[in-house]
Amino acid sequence: MPNTGENRMNTTHSRPSRRAFLGTLALGATAFTARGAFAEELTRTPTTNEGPFYPTKLPLDTDNDLLIINDAITPAVGEVTHLGGRLLDAKGDPLRNAVIEIWQCDRDGTYLKQYTRDGDKFDTNFQGYGRFLTGSTGEFYFRTIKPVPYRGRAAAHIHARIWKGDKKLLTTECFVKGLPNNERDGQFKQIRARDPKGHETLCLDFVPLKGSKIGELAVKWDIVLGYTPEA
């Protein structure tokens, strides 16, 4: 897996919109404060295919802000989206010091891999890939763009992969809830047929970020593993 020791992985961005979004995550935090607070195990996040576009050559910047590369001043094009949540085990306990990777296409439907391999047109201000080391409460956060469909996949989605040390724990993806195109996507329908309850946890609401003057979106995604730190 990629080296996860770089200083910029958990870079804190002082933008008010990010602070506002992290505040929204705190609204549900009390549900996770007590061990054993759940009468039943949480629904585990389904495994999905990695797909053909995981980047074989990582960008120079691999932090959790996919809209700005290093110290550039020009951001990526797209609907700004704040994606965050918690990484939990099936009992609801947080999993800390795990690395979450995400990757997705740019606003025009091109992946970083297609750009670096085939020279396809790509928004070079968009990282296309990022990673985050979870904290003590299992929290993670990314600033990215709202995903779009592309040739070959009708459902807009963001890929994710979770590592603990050198062990890969899960590969999955999330979807924009309620899009008509979802029903034309083979992967979307396969996951639902295999695991209807788990499938629901992958369909996320992209809601307007309160107070944003530029139409930013907020998405909360709790990822639940069939894994405990003791294991």
Say whether pLDDT at 24 is over 50: no
Task: With beta carbons less than 8 A apart as the criterion, state whether 1 and 161 touch.
Answer: no
- Helix intervals (H) in the chain: 16-26, 112-118, 186-194, 196-202
Note the pTM of the prediction, 2 decimals: 0.84
Which of 36-45, 122-131, 218-227 has the highest average model confidence (pLDDT)?
Answer: 122-131
Q: Which is more confidently placed, 8 or 100?
A: 100
In a domain, 8, yes or no: no
**What mean pLDDT is predicted for residues 182-204?**
97
What range does the domain containing 156 cover? 16-25+41-225
Q: Which is more confidently placed, 11 or 47?
A: 47
**Phi, then psi, of 184 in degrees rounded to 5:** -100, 5
E runs forming strands in 17-166 = 80-89, 99-103, 129-133, 139-145, 157-164
In a domain, 11, yes or no: no
In a domain, 45, yes or no: yes
Q: Which of 63, 79, 75, 83 is nearest to 22 (CA)?
A: 83
Confidence of residue 125 (pLDDT cuts 50, 70, 90): very high
pLDDT of 1 reads 55
In a domain, 212, yes or no: yes
Sign of the dihedral through C-alpha 58, 168, 187, 197? negative
pLDDT of 40 reads 72
Q: What is the CATH number of the domain that holds 216?
A: 2.60.130.10
pLDDT of 158 reads 98
In a domain, 36, yes or no: no
pLDDT of 34 reads 41
Lowest mean pLDDT among 96-105, 191-200, 221-230: 221-230
Q: What is the pLDDT of residues 71-90, one digit of tens each?
A: 999 999 999 999 999 999 99
In a domain, 35, yes or no: no
Cα separation, 126 vs 117, whole angstroms: 16
In a domain, 10, yes or no: no
Say whether pLDDT at 179 is over 80: yes
Q: Among residues of the chain, what percentage have pLDDT more than 90?
A: 79
In a domain, 181, yes or no: yes
Domain count of the fold of the chain: 1
